Chain A
Amino acid sequence: MIWKMVWGAFGGQKRKNALIALTVGLGVSLAAALLGVMFDVGDKVNQELKSYGANLNIVPRGASMLTEMYLLNDEPPEGEDLNSKAAENFIPENELFKIKMIFWAYNIVDFAPYLTVPVSLGPKKVLLTGTWFNKLLSLPTGDEVNVGVTALKSWWKLDGPPGDDAAENEVLVGQRLAQDLNLKKGELIKVTAGPNTVSLKVRAIFDGGGPEDDRIYAPLALAQSLANRPGLVESVEVSALTTPENELARRAALNPGSLSRLEWDTWYCTAYISSIAYQLEEVLPAVRVKAIRRVAESEGAILGKIQLLMILLTILTLLCSALAISNLVTAGIMERGVEIGLLKALGASNFSVTALFLLELFLVALIGGAIGYALGFGLAQIIGLSVFGTTIDVKTAVIPITGLMILAIALMGSLPALRILLSLKPTEVLHGR
């Protein structure tokens, strides 16, 4: 019977119901779109912010305090022999694939190993850094990924082709160094490191706008042979998508041991920079993983702000549609005062009248919500495509959240109307007052 009544009312108030559905639909579509974007905006903006470079630095645990500055010093420091660094001060190159095998492997966007050797270029001492430019890495899982500085240092401006890992005698020269020594693209240079001298071709000049402009970047194998360190690297820079840090992450970063079992699981399974660092330390032997605060901190702050902004906007949107729905529903109830009065006069309890009314409302809201969700999905894609140039990954979590939102909006919106409904006295209504 209740269904018949609901169905009847449905047809009877077509216009109003259409308006309610429209409003619910609009509210939900916007909220779904905003939520979709919000959940994905972290990753998207994060991707954008990746252009700031790596946010994790992997160094060997026993790394010597000797800084690169000293490698340029004419006078080798007393008591330190550049070539006497023990093997534990390096990371084996063939272990690096493990970086892509951690729990958050999917979040590792890129990484590049480095091995720096001081070399003589004519009369000048310069640093030559061996690295991967765009290395194809085969993982034991069967996946293949490309990693290296070409993508990691996207801000480099090259006047020639990007570095090639296979072209072992071709190097990239920093813009300041090139200016200093008047080097040109395509020129041949002779580089000496200890007993080894090699002839190299300048593949391209790059402008990185930082200290790297004074260096030479070469394929890793070249640096390894010049330094006589086959199969070893000094440090690795990793660029990872991370979740902004919170209280838990900060505590964990200080000492993971201080967490309770549950906290530890939460922390480990969230892409905090500290948990990714921890997982990297787990898979690579004898390394220390440091968060590059310049990138990590700023990234977290900006992401947090964008998400907060989106949440505020979503709430505002929902509030607006709740108000509009409230108006529509209240108007609907007022119009149907006589009908409701009659139902009450016929002995319907407040509960059953309310149930009838809410059932109808939820049906309308459901229809509106379904349409709205579809619209919102499209809207999210439009936003994604026009802003980030990629589609938005609408997380499945959005569906139940949107469903809850529909219920909440409809309920919130109908509260004032329900009050009117409950306070209706059948005699008054039927007498047309």
Chain B
Amino acid sequence: MNHILEIDNVSKIYGQVVALRDLSLTVPQGQWLAIMGPSGSGKTTLMNIVGCLDSPTVGQVILDGLNLGVLSHAGLTAIRRESIGLIFQEFHLIPYLTALENVMVAQYYHSLVDENEALEALARVGLRERARHLPKQLSGGEQQRVCVARALINHPKIILADEPTGNLDETNELLVMDILRQLRDQGSTIIVVTHAQEVAAHADRVIVLEHGRLVQDRVGAKERVDNLETASLMAG
């Protein structure tokens, strides 16, 4: 099987705190993976390492056949640009640019701006008509969909979403999940960090972290993950 991501015995230590402890994980191309776990379990750390925003203390990460450990700062930046699409809980749109321009910023840093392509991406998330609006004129759900459009514009191999629905209502949550499913169906690998059962339920595979360790790894959609009721409550 073609693995887009291979994580071998990775640990991440911040001073006294061990955020990830000897974690190993492989993700095949085209899989939708949900990472769950209570606060402080290391979800976001894992996410940052995969997103080339952070590097492991020990261990090795191979992303799309490239060993991240041997790459320079500039190399990591290039991977981020070429292979990864990021979606944040807090959207992080540039406030003074329109939805369209926010999408184009990603094109700009990636290669060439193409307004039509950017418009298409917005159309895919149902925001064709809102393309010329500034972020503050958009609702939270619309802003998150702009983020999704921005993440998919460069056709990344992996889309990383950190609590993408944390600030959304149910309707918008379903809309975003729908778009992610379409992307998965077109072959993108999707990794979503969440503590919400409903979100995780959309995934092909769910892993659960606790205290930096992998405690559950279940393949199979719509399957309930056990022992997480309390954890998700705590995380809320």
Nearest chain A residue, comparing its CB with the CB of B91: A432
Nearest chain A residue, comparing its CB with the CB of B139: A433
Nearest chain A residue, comparing its CB with the CB of B135: A433
Nearest chain A residue, comparing its CB with the CB of B138: A433
- Interface: A431 (CB within 8 A): yes
Nearest chain B residue, comparing its CB with the CB of A428: B136
Question: Are A433 and B90 closer than 8 Å at their CB atoms?
Answer: no
Measured between beta carbons, the chain B residues less than 8 angstroms from A432 are 90-91, 167
- Interface: B40 (CB within 8 A): no
- Interface: B126 (CB within 8 A): no
> Separation in Å of the B108 CB from the closest CB of chain A?
25
Contact residues on B (Cβ < 8 Å of other chain), bracket = under 10
Count, chain A residues at interface, CB 8 A: 3
> Separation in Å of the B133 CB from the closest CB of chain A?
13
Whole-angstrom distance between the alpha carbons of A433 and B142 in the complex? 12
- Interface: B59 (CB within 8 A): no
Nearest chain A residue, comparing its CB with the CB of B90: A432
Interface residues of B in 53-88 (CB under 8 A from A): none
Whole-angstrom distance between the alpha carbons of A433 and B140 in the complex? 8
Measured between beta carbons, the chain A residues less than 8 angstroms from B91 are 432
> Separation in Å of the B74 CB from the closest CB of chain A?
28
> Separation in Å of the B92 CB from the closest CB of chain A?
10
> Separation in Å of the A306 CB from the closest CB of chain B?
47
Question: Are A431 and B167 closer than 8 Å at their CB atoms?
Answer: yes
> Separation in Å of the B130 CB from the closest CB of chain A?
16
Interface residues of A in 409-433 (CB under 8 A from B): 431-433
In the complex, per-residue mask of B100-143: 1 if CB is within 8 Å of any chain A CB, else 0 = 00000000000000000000000000000000000010001000
Whole-angstrom distance between the alpha carbons of A433 and B135 in the complex? 8
Question: Are A433 and B167 closer than 8 Å at their CB atoms?
Answer: no
> Separation in Å of the A381 CB from the closest CB of chain B?
48
> Separation in Å of the A324 CB from the closest CB of chain B?
23
Measured between beta carbons, the chain B residues less than 8 angstroms from A433 are 136
Measured between beta carbons, the chain A residues less than 8 angstroms from B167 are 431-432
Nearest chain B residue, comparing its CB with the CB of A433: B136
In the complex, per-residue mask of B179-197: 1 if CB is within 8 Å of any chain A CB, else 0 = 0000000000000000000
Measured between beta carbons, the chain A residues less than 8 angstroms from B136 are 433
Whole-angstrom distance between the alpha carbons of A433 and B143 in the complex? 10
Nearest chain B residue, comparing its CB with the CB of A432: B90
6 contacts between A and B (CB under 8 A): A431-B140, A431-B167, A432-B90, A432-B91, A432-B167, A433-B136
Interface set of B (CB-CB < 8 Å, partner A): 90-91, 136, 140, 167
Shortest 6 CB-CB distances between A and B: which pairs? A432-B90, A433-B136, A432-B167, A431-B167, A431-B140, A432-B91
